[in-house]
Structure 1
Amino acid sequence: MNREDIKINFSKKSYVDSASNVMKYYQSIGFKVPSGKRSENLTNTQLRNFLAITSSIYNIVMSQGPEAVRDKLLYFKIHLIYQAGRNVAVKDFVELSKLPAITEKVLSKLDDDDAKEYVICLCRYMEALVAYFKYYGGKD
């Protein structure tokens, strides 16, 4: 699978396929991202750290509504960027999955009537990424 062939369509109908395609790509490269003379692995722990944040976001949006998650979404975006700066494999994953751009889109929709659906979709996309990582053989 070529990286250029991966299209991320963020919607309720396509987030599962998008997550599958991202992880199929990583499976095809052995979950290793080149970094100079060596490579860095994308790991379950790295992804689960992101999942923990989106799980918290999901719980808040379900109990308090979409406006209550604005700060948590901003934190999630910053956490993605920070971790991407620390690790080449995470940076590659963050860029390929389009998580910062998707988070920004969700933030822009928080005042809309369907804001809750956007937040839930982001959380489920992250969950699908972790699920497909394990399904396609990703390890720690």
Structure 2
Amino acid sequence: MVTHITPMTEDEFIAHFAESIKGYAKDKVASGNWAEADALDLAQKEIDNLLPQGFATPEHWFFTVRDDSAQKVGAIWISLREQGGRKIAWLTDIVVLPKFQRQGHAKRALAAAEQVMAAAGLPGMGLHVFGHNTGAQALYASLGYAVTNVNMFKPLG
């Protein structure tokens, strides 16, 4: 099976973010960062801050993930970040649609995105993964990503 990434169109961007914001809000609630009642509004505010020009915001790349029949199976959002005095690629979001999960699309899409970013001259790619998302943690580790920071929490009382 082959997985491709193609530049996202603005219409795909709009449709993707309408759904992606819901998933991000859900993850922030699951991680204990946000109250459920506030999560959608907070997620929208974060996206608006990260993408003040929406689809046209500089230093952000949006890709549609497609299978070998060109069917959409997911999306990838990569941005630039400063790390150690240099700019690196940052995997801001990756989504594989539920019916296409566990088929290797995420792994192949990430490999394709890494090639695009390396060709752009970026020396590496970083990412954040929620603590409760152990499947994603295992995927990233299998691709050679190393843990660089860990945030922890303990309820008191």
TM over 0.5: no
TM-score by length of 1: 0.32
Structure ranking higher in strand proportion: 2
Q: Which has the higher contact order (CA 8 A, sep 6+)?
A: 1
Bigger radius of gyration among the two: 2
TM-score by length of 2: 0.29
Structure ranking higher in helix proportion: 1
